[in-house]
Amino acid sequence: MELSTREIKPSIFDFEDYREYLKAACFPNGKYNHTSGTLSIWAKKLGYKSPSSLTMVLNGDRIPSRDMINSLGKELKLSAKERQYLDLQVDLDRAKRKGKDPSDLLKRLSIIAPGKNNIQLSLNQFSLISKWYFYVIKQLISTPGFIEDYDWMFKRLDRKVTPSQIKYAIDALLELGIITRDEAGNLTPAERGVISPNDIPSSALKNHHTGMMERAAEALREKPVEERQISSLTFRMNPEDLPKAKERVFKFIQEFNEEFANDNGLEVFQLNAQLFGHTRKDISQ
The 8-class DSSP code of residue 194 comes to E
Tell me: do 132 and 192 sit in the same domain. Answer: yes
| Non-local CB neighbours of 7 within 8 Å, separated by 6+ positions | 28, 205, 246
What does the pLDDT read at residue 6?
Answer: 42
Q: Based on the structure, what is the number of domains in the chain?
A: 2
Residue 192 has pLDDT above 70, yes or no: no
What does the pLDDT read at residue 33?
Answer: 53
Residue 36 has pLDDT above 70, yes or no: no
Q: What is the mean pLDDT of the chain?
A: 84
Kind plus residue range of the DSSP H or E element containing 179: strand 179-181
Residue 85 has pLDDT above 60, yes or no: yes
Q: Give dist(CA 104, CA 190) in Å, integer.
A: 27
| Non-local CB neighbours of 117 within 8 Å, separated by 6+ positions | 192
Domain end call among 228, 247, 267: 228
Residue 109 lies in a domain: yes
Domain end call among 179, 211, 228: 228
* Long-range CB contact pairs, 87-92, < 8 A, 24+: 88/112, 89/12, 89/15, 89/16, 89/17, 89/18, 89/21, 90/18, 90/63, 90/64
Calculate mean pLDDT across residues 95-116. Answer: 73
Tell me: do 129 and 68 sit in the same domain. Answer: no
DSSP result, 98-130: TT---HHHHHHHHHHSTT--PEEPPHHHHHHT-
Calculate mean pLDDT across residues 97-115. Answer: 73
Domain end call among 189, 206, 228: 228
Strand partners, 195: 120
- Among 50-59, 68-77, 196-205, 260-269, which stretch is predicted with the lowest mean pLDDT? 196-205
Tell me: do 99 and 127 sit in the same domain. Answer: no
What does the pLDDT read at residue 5?
Answer: 41
What does the pLDDT read at residue 198?
Answer: 47
Residue 20 lies in a domain: yes
Residue 121 has pLDDT above 70, yes or no: no
Calculate mean pLDDT across residues 89-95. Answer: 89
Residue 140 pLDDT grade (very low, low, confident, very high; cuts 50, 70, 90): very high
Q: Are 177 and 190 in contact (CB under 8 A)?
A: yes
Residue 255 lies in a domain: no
Residue 192 lies in a domain: yes
Per residue in 220-263, pLDDT (tens digit) is 999 999 999 999 999 999 999 998 898 888 889 878 887 898 87
Residue 66 lies in a domain: yes
Q: Are 8 and 250 in contact (CB under 8 A)?
A: yes
What does the pLDDT read at residue 168?
Answer: 95
Residue 132 pLDDT grade (very low, low, confident, very high; cuts 50, 70, 90): very high
Sign of CA dihedral 37, 38, 39, 43: positive
What does the pLDDT read at residue 83?
Answer: 92
Tell me: do 81 and 99 sit in the same domain. Answer: yes
Tell me: do 132 and 212 sit in the same domain. Answer: yes
Residue 254 lies in a domain: no
Tell me: do 95 and 168 sit in the same domain. Answer: no
187 φ, ψ (degrees, to nearest 5): -70, 140
Residues 118, 120, 123: CA angle, nearest 5 degrees: 165
Per residue in 154-170, pLDDT (tens digit) is 999 999 999 999 999 99
Q: Give dist(CA 48, CA 225) in Å, integer.
A: 56
Share of the chain above pLDDT 70, in %: 84
Tell me: do 191 and 173 sit in the same domain. Answer: yes
Tell me: do 105 and 188 sit in the same domain. Answer: no
Tell me: do 42 and 94 sit in the same domain. Answer: yes
Tell me: do 11 and 108 sit in the same domain. Answer: yes
Tell me: do 104 and 198 sit in the same domain. Answer: no
Residue 105 has pLDDT above 70, yes or no: yes
Report pTM: 0.60
Tell me: do 69 and 101 sit in the same domain. Answer: yes
What does the pLDDT read at residue 187?
Answer: 95
Residue 275 lies in a domain: no
Residue 278 lies in a domain: no
Residue 173 domain boundaries: 123-228
Residue 199 has pLDDT above 50, yes or no: no
Q: What is the CATH number of the domain that holds 223?
A: 1.10.10
Give the pairing type, strands 194-195 and 119-120.
parallel
